[in-house]
Structure 1
């Protein structure tokens, strides 16, 4: 079947921890979705550059994605890059290699643009509280926090994520209690600065969580045998459940942690760092629960390609 470029759009998000693909049909919605842990941000927090090994992992992944995309006669593609590339001094060299592989120059997103696109992806697929809602997107290198009412009002980014926190603080296996306390403390300090600037964030009656760390914590909580983000959409994840999952994963060695149902093996080494971010945010907000969204920045990018507001 022949498709016009107007019919099929695709988004690739080159993140700190994973490189993800979404293909959407105007008529049929999501037709393909891929998540590949590529760990582009490995050691970027310390070295401020992308390693050859990490870049090659992403290029290999993109070559595979190119084969998937080439099964369509025509499509519109947008490639975005986020935290690791924002920090890396050699990102232009990397972007040149990406363009040679996938045929499109990556777009470097600011933290605010990343938040705006994540908000757009979430907002189109959940019933949002018009009094106020806070959307939290914990990535590998940064966390985007968006406040909305009848529209997006504020989008901000803080430089903490699953990979960054793991590399900065969690050096033992399992992490030592003081390492966990220091990790949570760093996140709380940064977030509470944000709350002082935007106090309405703490008053939002609805909290929504998206992206890898939060989806994974929900999957572990229910013991999902086959990791399926779409099956977790609109799930209500309580703060007590978040604390329980955190305690379980943080006190296990990596060799034991990988056996938890719902935890993809390739996220097991950074999930405790991601949990530290999530626990810190929920404690600072004193929130009882969050609603899970399986939709994210990729859906926001695809919506823009389709011309949806």
Structure 2
């Protein structure tokens, strides 16, 4: 009997490293997820000030990658070989924007045992769009008619999809870690800091999203990334994160605004004890929500639908698609 194909994806982000192991199933069926983790490593820590990845942040990230690679091997993901790629790692905004990215990518490749792909902002947007559409959604997302917003630690992406193709896409350095370092001196957040952040976001996004707003029509707005999944978990009052409950949850613009103002008024310790909010994400939730709120306001949209399927699922979908022809050729021999 033929062994099932198993794959591992490593998404090296500015705030966290996300890890996904899945098994391919029959055509038309979503992959079987065997493991999914997110380690907060803050790779982008102090990047704005130094333009370099800090050694402490690099060490945290490499340790997570080594741990994840070991788990992938234990779960039966075979090593990469010519013509047979079962693992893929991608790096995004923090690595893109750092002066020491080459040294980091070299160390990351040693930790994993294979090279890491550095994505451009446009490639990251493509991966997010592919991820949202993957996996047999019970909505129209598979058709790709949507406007996706992905807020990461270092950057944020806006993708307008039509007929299964990307009509518009843009990636901007407006991730939640960057915004926290630039605008938020501490918690509770002064009203002046909130106002300055909101004004800056609207000024930067208004000329870009004007075209999106005209072309969006009735396409749903879909949000991805740790900020919006945490916001959904909070709204659902989930003591333990459950992606099956968070996925496709609808958040109104009013709810997002209320959450932002509520959490901005809390001190740091109280924020870390909010039900549904991972403690390590506590200090970056407010700036992340500010990006979503500004987006909905400029689009004149009243709500968004949360998707837990972002970049890593897009990378997984690509791996499985690449493996399918090779698998078919092997079976035909």
Normalised by the length of structure 1, the TM-score is 0.94
RMSD, aligned CA: 2.0
Contact 1:158 1:191 in 2 (8 A): no
Counterpart check, 1:227 vs 2:226: no
With 61-70 and 278-287 compared, the bigger mean Cα shift is at 278-287
With 111-120 and 187-196 compared, the bigger mean Cα shift is at 187-196
With 7-16 and 282-291 compared, the bigger mean Cα shift is at 282-291
Aligned residue for 1:283? 297
Aligned residue for 2:308? 294
Aligned residue for 1:140? 153
What runs of 5+ residues in structure 1 fail to find an aligned partner?
Answer: none
Q: How does 1:70-109 map to 2 (within 5 A)?
A: 70-71=73-74, 72=76, 74=78, 76-109=86-119
Q: How does 1:1-309 map to 2 (within 5 A)?
A: 3=3, 7-27=5-25, 28-71=31-74, 72=76, 74=78, 76-125=86-135, 126=137, 127-128=139-140, 132-151=145-164, 152-200=166-214, 203-307=217-321
Displacement of 1:114: 0.3
Displacement of 1:46: 2.1
User: What per-residue deviation string (whole Å, max 9, x for no partner) do you get for residues 9-61 of structure 1?
Assistant: 11100000000101111125211111111100001122111000000000110
Taking structure 1 as reference, are residues 118 and 131 closer, same or farther at Cα in structure 2, changes over 3 Å only?
Answer: closer
Displacement of 1:196: 3.8
Contact 1:24 1:30 in 2 (8 A): yes
Normalised by the length of structure 2, the TM-score is 0.87
Taking structure 1 as reference, are residues 199 and 248 closer, same or farther at Cα in structure 2, changes over 3 Å only?
Answer: closer
Contact 2:213 2:299 in 1 (8 A): no
Displacement of 1:155: 1.8
Displacement of 1:233: 0.8
Contact 2:6 2:77 in 1 (8 A): no
Contact 1:131 1:204 in 2 (8 A): no
Contact 1:45 1:87 in 2 (8 A): no
Secondary structure of the equivalent of 1:172?
A: coil
